[in-house]
């Protein structure tokens, strides 16, 4: 029967289209994820540089502190307080640098998750659209088959087809293809 062959061909074409859409979508998501992952190296490098600069500034401050205190005539407890203030400042700077690094990396991880979720949504929408197109093609083919059967004298009860049976049940129960 020519309609059986045509129906099988139409089904295979829609399956091929769906597979290619899924592959293209998966590749786009993979490329986007890789692009975002590559940004992490630059972020880590920039924050490592900032931490190094904070350390250098701290060490220079410690080196210059005794001279600055001597010029101001500070000794004893004032020296300890100044050293403690310098160390606290350095640790606060380092904490801020690490917090900003963690936030930047978290932003990238969130962007990756969003990209993957959008990719999943796009894939689902594409699959739905392709399924709707396949259903429309199936309905057109079925209409043509009904006309063919009427001309050729074949009698099939097509009333069951639209009563909620699955596609596979329709095909099996009604010997459509």
Which residues, at least 6 apart from 33, have a Cβ–Cβ distance to it below 8 Å?
112, 115, 116
Nearest of 36, 27, 26, 35 to residue 124 by alpha carbon: 26
What pLDDT sits at residue 39? 94
What pLDDT sits at residue 177? 47
3-state SS class at 19? helix
Nearest of 40, 53, 31 to residue 103 by alpha carbon: 40
Query: Torsion-angle region of residue 65: left (phi > 0), alpha (psi -120 to 50) or beta?
Result: alpha
What pLDDT sits at residue 169? 53
pLDDT in tens, the chain (177 residues): 666 777 788 788 888 888 888 898 899 999 999 999 999 999 999 999 999 999 999 999 888 877 777 777 766 666 778 778 888 999 999 999 999 999 999 999 999 999 998 988 888 888 888 888 888 888 887 787 777 777 776 655 555 544 444 545 554 555 544
What pLDDT sits at residue 32? 92
Q: CA 12 to CA 2: how far, in whole Å?
A: 15
What pLDDT sits at residue 83? 79
CA distances for 9 relative to 16, 18, 74, 145, 146, angstroms: 10, 14, 92, 15, 18
Q: CA 50 to CA 101: how far, in whole Å?
A: 10
Q: CA 63 to CA 157: how far, in whole Å?
A: 96
CA distances for 70 relative to 64, 67, 74, 81, 90, angstroms: 10, 5, 6, 14, 22
Per the CB < 8 A criterion, the answer to whether 173 and 156 are in contact is no
């Amino acid at each position: 029967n020519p309609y059986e062959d045509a129906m099988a061909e139409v089904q295979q074409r829609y399956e091929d289209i769906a597979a290619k859409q899924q592959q293209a979508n998966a590749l786009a998501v993979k490329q986007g994820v890789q692009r975002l992952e590559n940004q992490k190296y630059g972020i880590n490098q920039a924050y490592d540089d900032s931490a190094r600069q904070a350390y250098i500034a701290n060490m220079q401050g410690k080196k210059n502190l005794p001279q600055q205190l001597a010029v101001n005539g500070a000794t004893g407890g004032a020296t300890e307080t100044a050293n403690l203030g310098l160390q606290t400042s350095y640790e606060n700077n380092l904490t801020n640098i690490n917090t900003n690094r963690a936030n930047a990396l978290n932003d990238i991880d969130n962007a990756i998750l969003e990209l993957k979720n959008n990719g999943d949504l796009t894939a689902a929408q594409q699959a739905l659209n392709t399924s709707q197109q396949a259903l429309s093609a199936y309905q057109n083919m079925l209409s043509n088959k009904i006309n063919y059967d009427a001309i050729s004298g074949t009698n099939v009860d097509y009333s069951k087809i639209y009563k909620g049976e699955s596609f596979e049940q329709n095909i099996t129960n009604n010997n459509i293809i």
